[in-house]
Structure 1
């Protein structure tokens, strides 16, 4: 069977590919997405996108120029993203959860000529120190982006781009160092939609997708933007800011597919008694971004009679390359390789690891990035040929399922034995009073002994008292080898997270190394 990219023409514009396939009579009047109770059809989407492209052309933007998009999930994001690609301009979505310093860095690093954002963000960023930026467009105000593009009475023809050239960038949310610009080609979204969206999830035209992850995040971009469009389905653009908002959205829009993250599944379960979720519309629940604890999977299944189809991917591959399948899920693991991806576990010498042995995850596939912008050495360290070293530690069992052991810099030794923090966290999650937990190592500066430290948030109605701490310690000793049981427990109101919602372990480690004790409340 030939590769997907071999079936695409050399002259290929991915915006035209996804938009024009839905303009046939059968699909043109179907809903493309919902936002704040309003439905936008595929015909309306096509019109807005082409007018956005014409507007960008009138700003004298040329092919390969960059347009930064700093917005929450909203219609203007979609119109600008596809409109830029339609014109051959490169959109650069920026996560609104990033720090101001990181946003300033991304604007400067990407050399964006135009920034589309809100008035509130413009004020936070003023002055914007970038010699390349010459226009700031706002979605709110007297001259809003929507009003500007609806004035366009000429529809721009799509640019004759190559399937191999840069279509868009996404910045990583790395917990150390500055964000890296990941450059993706026009073909990448097609590969992910075909190999994961259609083949693994079985997305179809009657689906309604709801994603907790936002569109500047690679996982959210696929969930909301291009995977539903690949089959003529609909997506929900949400501005939810809490678990209760998410539950309200799910009750209102009645999606068929929920793209969640572990903390959201845990949060919904945590408020089940006061705000139970009606899951009758959901045919599929998906989780990614970080490892889903086995106990959360099991409790979700017992409470809602729904499996969670867990998978894992990276920004560099755009979406998921390891996934469970409904009816074949193994709780606590990342699943098996998605068709089209060669996923292997190798040792430090590059030799294949046998089943049951922890090694380094490396992946090959057609959706692999072109590289990191202006990071040649880091690109070469990560990629060789069509294969990437992900930096994740994994093991594969005898059935071909992959089990995440942690990032290469997260594993640590206690009593001379390697420890995966995820193994300890999975056990502690089973304690009835624990909501979330993160495990990190702490070294005794005097004797250089490494100890296990657990940061814990409690469920609703629980307060961090000595009785609860003793209960947790007893539970850990009963269910873990003695050297894996936490020697120190810190109760915190919430765990620090990266801009994409992952637990920020490096920040926890830094807190310990700087102060010798927890100080993140």
Structure 2
């Protein structure tokens, strides 16, 4: 259906026959055909008389829902009146997590635009790929990050408007907003109008364009948070994931606002700042990655985190030792979850009632999952295989039918992960599909080796990949970051290898160990194993 004057994105959706089967089956998942998701996430708080409630805090700024509502409306006016904007245009946001980022996000949707949110660490090369791929016409950019944005040369990009995300001064956008009305009539989008384009986070090379409808934004708010978090208006959310990552968008904007709660945003969320925010602003729900939970555990005793009631981990699988160490230090159980940019947010997780230590969990409300072989046949209980998921949201790659066929098979989303399912229905992570190491006929999951190595007293972080080998096919190669980097030596390597053979199956031990000062990671905290594999091959 054509809802926009600029139909580029809708015209490049995959054919219906290539999309995953989506179903609702519950009144909570039914939304009207005429739908702009901003009305449910933001505007209703004003009409219901809750405009004075706090929506966003930082260490320096406090905005109510009314503040956010008025600024989003003014931004929508700027787009439609000053910037030659047409509904359906793609608008990029380049900024760290701050209130103006959120105002731009809502303003774009109010005007009928499609948001392309990005992460601060991206540079001219990555930004250009995004602008050209999505034919982005407008960009809102924090002036502190404008250098890379200004280097983007594309025939599609017509307007780059800077703003001041620090809240300390004014930039071009604030100047244009100055005399704009604080009310705006939202563009009449439909439930299946595109709202966002999310580029995959780049752990496997060139990113792909995923797309999601206005109804998808609201559907995920009825899924994971209701299943695992049970949010109330008194909750305060925080976390480290960038808003350009759908894990962060959901956890730090969509979920709190859908339930009338507030969010605490941190532009550069170090472990110390996360803990400081939890202590000083009585944060109740925290989203971050496994690597951060590991560091937080070492510092948590220096802070009062008694307000915290829910801890959520995603982005990578959560090592059992990280879960155990955090629980021992705090008495809180980390909720692990697996989601994807393609499906928008978490689709397998747990809650306090059904959590099984070490398992990723069960399908959250609105989704179903199964383990299949290469032909799509369901596998017996306990057999590792490909994870297949379907439910209220699904993969919709733009302008990429071949990639769409790879991700969606027979109506199911094939995530690229290897899992097994136990007799009680719980899903257990085994490996990424491309992280399985086959050595001398043995199937060795990289995550299994990593989970053992992380229990060694000298190891702070590690990543395991397969090293091509003429005799064995592949060798297990471990990249290790030591707690004390001065200890790196051949003798320690031998000690770690001998220790590993004593505590785990000897055939899994890392025959090659390489020490690093740090591991390559995406901005969302995922270890970029493809970069380590490239290093091995060079």
Shared fold per TM-score greater than 0.5:
yes
Partner residue of 1:290 out of 294, 316, 335:
316
Counterpart position of 1:482: 506
> Is 1:63 matched up with 2:87?
yes
1:394 matched residue in structure 2: 419
Range with bigger deviation, 289-298 or 109-118: 109-118
Question: 1:487: how far off?
Answer: 0.8
TM-score where L is the length of structure 1: 0.93
Q: CA deviation at 1:499?
A: 3.4
What does residue 469 of structure 1 align with? 493
Tell me what 1:378 maps to: 403
Match of 2:531 in 1: 507
Shift of 1:344: 0.9
Q: Which of residues 230, 241, 245 in structure 2 aligns to 1:213?
A: 241
* Alignment deviations for residues 387-423 of structure 1 (CA, whole Å, 9 cap, x no partner): 2111111101112111111121110211201110111
Q: 2:453 aligns with which of 428, 433, 447?
A: 428
Cα distance, 1:431 vs. partner? 1.1
Over the aligned positions, Cα root-mean-square deviation in angstroms equals 2.0
Could you tell me how far 1:80 is from its partner in structure 2?
A: 0.9
Distance 1:3 1:131, change over 3 A: farther
Aligned partners of 1:493 and 1:245: how far apart in 2? 23
Aligned partner of 1:47 in structure 2 is: 70
1:201 corresponds, among 200, 204, 229, to 229
Secondary structure, aligned partner of 1:187: helix
| Long gaps (5+) in structure 2 | 1-23
State the shift of 1:37 in Å: 2.9
Alignment check: 8 A CA contact 1:452 1:486 kept: yes
Tell me the SS of whatever aligns to 2:413.
strand
Alignment of 1:155-194 (within 5 A): 155-194=183-222
- In structure 1, the residue matched to 2:102 is 78
Choose the corresponding residue for 1:266, options 283, 291, 294: 294
- Asked if 1 retains the 8 angstrom alpha-carbon contact of 2:438 and 2:473, the reply is no
Q: Which of 51, 76, 87 matches 1:28? A: 51
Q: CA deviation at 1:362?
A: 0.8
Aligned residue number for residue 356 of structure 1: 382
1:322 is paired with a residue whose SS is strand
Match of 2:418, SS state, is strand
Deviations 1:209-259 (A, max 9, x none): 012111110100000111001110000111125322333333332210011
Give the CA deviation at 1:299.
0.8
Name the CA distance, whole Å, in 2 between partners of 1:313 and 1:138: 32
Kept in 1: contact 2:467–2:475 (CA 8 A): yes
Is 2:249 the partner of 1:247? Answer: no
Indicate if the aligned counterparts of 1:433 and 1:462 stay in contact, CA closer than 8 A: no
Work out whether residues 258 and 286 of structure 1, in 8 Å CA contact, stay in contact via their aligned partners in 2.
Answer: yes
1:320 CA drift (Å): 0.5
Name the SS for the 1:168 alignment partner.
strand
Q: Does structure 2 retain, via aligned residues, the 8 Å contact 1:48–1:150?
A: no
**Secondary structure of residue in 2 paired with 1:222:** helix
Aligned length in residues: 510
Check the 8 A contact 2:71/2:182 in 1, yes or no.
Answer: no
Tell me what 2:147 maps to: 123
Which residue in the other structure is 1:519 paired with? none
Match of 2:431, SS state, is strand
2:239, 2:313 → 1: CA distance?
Answer: 10
Decide whether the 8 Å contact of 1:15 with 1:85 is kept in 2: yes
In the alignment, what sits opposite 2:259? 231
Task: Identify which range, 37-46 or 237-246, moves more after superposition.
Answer: 237-246
1:133 aligned onto 2:161: no
Q: Which residue of 2 aligns with 1:454?
A: 478
Taking the aligned partners of 2:171 and 2:325, their CA distance within structure 1 comes to 49
Shift of 1:24: 4.4
In structure 1, the residue corresponding to 2:237 is in which secondary structure? strand
Q: Alignment partner of 1:167: what SS?
A: strand
2-structure distance, mates of 1:162, 1:4: 19
Q: Counterpart of 1:443?
A: 468
Please state if 1:98 is matched with 2:122. yes
**Among residues 367, 371, 380, which one is paired with 1:341 in the alignment?**
367
Q: Which has the higher contact order (CA 8 A, sep 6+)?
A: 2
* C-alpha separation in 1, matches of 2:279 and 2:178: 33
Q: Deviations over 1:422-477 (max 9, x none)?
A: 11111111112211111111123x54642111111122686324554343223201
* Correspondence for 1:517: none
8 Å contact from structure 2 (residues 376, 409) kept in 1: no
Residues 6/434 of structure 1: CA separation in 2 closer, same or farther (3 Å cut): closer
Aligned to 1:10: 33
* 1:24–1:395 Cα change, 3 Å: same
Greater Cα shift, 42-51 or 293-302: 42-51
1:197–1:147: structure 2 CA closer, same or farther, 3 Å change rule?
A: farther
Structure 2 CA distance for aligned equivalents of residues 394 and 466 of structure 1: 35
1:27 alignment partner, SS class: coil
DSSP-derived class of the 2:243 partner:
coil
For the residues of structure 2 that align with 1:206 and 1:148, how far apart are their CA atoms?
Answer: 34
The CA distance in 2 between the partners of 1:159 and 1:45, in whole Å, is: 18
Provide the rounded CA distance (Å) in 2 between the counterparts of 1:322 and 1:101: 34
Q: State how 1:303-322 maps to structure 2 within 5 Å.
A: 303-322=329-348
Unpaired runs of 5+ residues, structure 1, are 515-521
| Cα distance in 1 for residues equivalent to 2:160 and 2:488 | 47
Alignment partners' CA distance in 2, 1:264 and 1:143 = 33
Secondary structure at the aligned position of 2:522 is classed as coil
Q: CA shift at 1:134, angstroms? A: 1.2
